[in-house]
């Protein structure tokens, strides 16, 4: 018997509606969620769950001031999110590692073959945000926004077991690609959607999805529309949890002791650009 695909988008639209409902049942439901997923509320700007009128307000909660120090140094690349570093390394011949023995093409991820050539020989890092993690996303480096592209796709789970089992997952799921110019070359931040991740927002556009749409939509930001964000500044957010893929034009030297599978926090140092082999004199 053939398997019937799950209606990912229909399920996620239902979650979108449910997580924005305000009801007397919200606070006890959030309390159960906090206990079940062992959510640390001590870092939240408002640690009292009754302060959140909806699940979405809880999922997208702010951190209190100073909860995530940003690693100093303009050339230090920091984590864009709290979560698990699921993969990191060089971009080899346009190929990115999804999990051990599983790869996908950068062309497919960015949905832009011309843009992907900028990152040949560069580096990437992927951070998985679980439901218990802080869900806002921040800048790994200071940068000026060049474009935002919404790429329609499926909404498979991005939980670790699915990432290991499903080929080309991040290049198949719906996603938002934000490309920046930085002092260290181009940088693309890819916000990957997933089942139950009912919304992806950016700070300059607001809600990008839903609606899911059926065609790739690109917006260029130039001239008076140019937007510059500091390192550590908020750039977007997920509902629930998902994955962000950080792609860099330049090769990076990873921080000593950094290992895939380890937990990372937003603002934590991940890497620095590899010095030029032939520096100018």
How many Å apart are CA 279 and CA 281, to the nearest integer? 6
Q: Are strands 185-192 and 243-248 parallel, antiparallel or unpaired?
A: antiparallel
**Percent of the chain that is helix, strand, coil (3-state, to 5):** 20, 35, 45
Residue pair 202/178 in contact by the 8 Å Cβ criterion: yes
Active site residue 262: no
The DSSP secondary structure of 124-135, one letter per residue, reads EEEEEPPTTS--
**Active-site residue, from 82, 86, 150, 157:** 82
Q: Is 241 exposed, middle or buried (0-12, 13-18, 19+ CB in 10 A)?
A: buried
**Active-site residue, from 12, 79, 157, 242:** 242
Active site residue 242: yes
Residuewise pLDDT in 10s, the chain (281 residues): 343 455 555 555 555 556 666 778 889 989 999 999 999 999 999 999 999 998 888 989 999 999 999 999 999 999 999 999 999 999 988 888 887 778 888 998 999 888 888 998 999 999 999 888 999 999 999 999 999 999 988 777 777 778 887 777 888 888 999 999 999 999 999 999 877 665 889 999 998 876 667 788 999 998 877 899 999 999 999 876 689 999 999 999 999 999 999 999 999 999 998 876 555 54
**Active-site residue, from 138, 150, 157, 184:** 138
Handedness of CA 175, 122, 127, 99 (dihedral sign): positive
Residue pair 63/44 in contact by the 8 Å Cβ criterion: yes
Active site residue 147: no
Please state the separation of Cα 17 from the chain's center in Å.
22
Distances (CA, A) of 49 to 17, 28, 54, 192: 20, 9, 10, 27
Q: Considering only CA atoms, which of 206, 171, 205, 162 is closest in space to residue 190?
A: 171
């Amino acid at each position: 018997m053939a398997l019937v695909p799950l209606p990912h988008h229909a399920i996620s639209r239902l979650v979108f509606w449910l997580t924005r409902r305000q009801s007397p049942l919200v606070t006890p439901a959030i309390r159960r969620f906090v206990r079940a997923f062992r959510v640390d509320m001590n870092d939240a700007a408002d640690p009292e769950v009754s302060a959140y009128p909806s699940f979405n307000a809880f999922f997208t909660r702010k951190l209190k001031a100073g909860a995530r120090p940003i690693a100093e140094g303009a050339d230090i690349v920091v984590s864009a999110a709290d979560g698990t570093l699921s993969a990191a390394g060089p971009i080899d011949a346009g190929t990115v590692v999804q999990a051990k023995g599983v790869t996908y093409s950068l062309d497919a991820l960015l949905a832009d073959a011309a843009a992907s050539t900028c990152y040949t020989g560069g580096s990437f890092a992927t951070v998985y945000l679980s439901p218990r993690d802080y869900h806002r996303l921040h800048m790994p480096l200071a940068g000026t926004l060049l474009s935002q592209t919404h790429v329609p796709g499926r909404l498979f789970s991005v939980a670790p077991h699915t990432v290991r089992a499903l080929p080309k997952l991040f290049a198949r799921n719906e996603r938002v690609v934000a490309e920046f110019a930085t002092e260290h070359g181009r940088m693309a931040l890819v916000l990957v959607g997933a089942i139950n991740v009912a919304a992806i927002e950016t700070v300059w556009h607001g809600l990008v999805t839903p609606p899911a749409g059926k065609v790739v939509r690109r917006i260029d930001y130039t001239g008076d529309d140019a937007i510059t964000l500091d390192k550590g500044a908020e750039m977007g957010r997920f509902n629930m949890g998902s994955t962000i893929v950080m792609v860099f034009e330049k090769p990076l030297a990873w921080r000593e002791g950094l290992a895939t599978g380890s937990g990372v926090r937003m603002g934590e140092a991940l890497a620095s650009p590899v010095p030029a082999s032939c520096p100018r004199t």
